[in-house]
């Protein structure tokens, strides 16, 4: 079941992010801060956190509108617990996000990922789900690690 993330999901989602091996410890800490800010009454953002829930959170995604654009959104995070990968859950979660945004009249979803060889399976996932490589910024993350941006029209 895919639903909006609740504050009670936070610890399980941080554990999930760590279990994927894709996030360094400082990045997991940053996720914790982002979730905390999202649930605080201090922010009034349009950001959306989704949880794939099956007795406990097994997937998470985070999208937010691109500032100073009309209908352009960024997928900043999508992760499925390693025990639940290769079951189509990532594609289902991504499709759910696309459907929600399209129903709201949003136009474009962007996602960025690393150009390192270890991330080829991530890039293949986006290609398989209808995303086109739109841009590459060489050595963006660090020397030898390009940023690759994928794009999909939602309408």
- Given this model, what pLDDT does residue 41 score? 67
DSSP 54-103: SSSEEEEEEEEEPTTSSSEEEEEEEEE-GGGTTSSHHHHHHHHHHHHHHH
- Given this model, what pLDDT does residue 25 score? 86
Distance CA 135, CA 148 (A): 6
Distance CA 125, CA 115 (A): 14
- Tokens encoding 7: 């504050």
Domain coordinates in residue numbering, the chain: 2-111
From residue 33, alpha-carbon distances to 1, 11, 28, 60 in Å are 25, 12, 9, 15
* CATH fold label, 2-111: Aminopeptidase (3.40.630)
**Are 36 and 80 spatial neighbours (Cβ–Cβ below 8 Å)?**
no
114-143 CB burial, b ≥16 within 10 A, e <16: bbeeebeebbebbeeeebeeeeeeeeeeee
pLDDT per position in the chain (155 positions), as tens?
A: 999 999 999 999 999 999 998 888 899 999 999 999 899 866 667 899 999 999 899 999 999 999 999 999 999 999 999 999 999 999 999 999 999 999 999 999 999 999 999 999 999 999 999 999 999 999 999 999 999 999 999 97
- Given this model, what pLDDT does residue 44 score? 67
Q: Is 113 exposed, middle or buried (0-12, 13-18, 19+ CB in 10 A)?
A: buried
- Given this model, what pLDDT does residue 116 score? 95
pTM (2 d.p.): 0.91
């Amino acid at each position: 079941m895919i639903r909006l993330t609740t504050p009670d999901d936070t610890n399980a989602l941080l554990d999930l992010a760590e279990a994927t091996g894709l996030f360094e410890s400082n990045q997991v800490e940053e996720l914790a801060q982002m979730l905390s800010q999202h649930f605080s009454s201090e922010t009034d953002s349009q950001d959306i956190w989704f949880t794939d829930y099956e007795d406990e959170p097994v997937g998470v995604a985070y999208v937010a509108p691109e500032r100073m654009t009309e209908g352009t959104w960024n997928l900043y995070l999508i992760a499925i617990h390693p025990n639940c990968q290769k079951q189509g859950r990532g594609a289902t979660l991504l499709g759910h996000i696309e459907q929600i945004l399209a129903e709201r009249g949003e136009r474009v979803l962007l996602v960025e990922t690393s150009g390192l060889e270890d991330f080829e399976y991530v890039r293949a996932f986006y290609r398989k789900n209808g995303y086109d490589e739109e841009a590459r910024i060489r050595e963006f993350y660090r020397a030898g690690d390009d940023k690759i941006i994928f794009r999909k029209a939602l309408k």
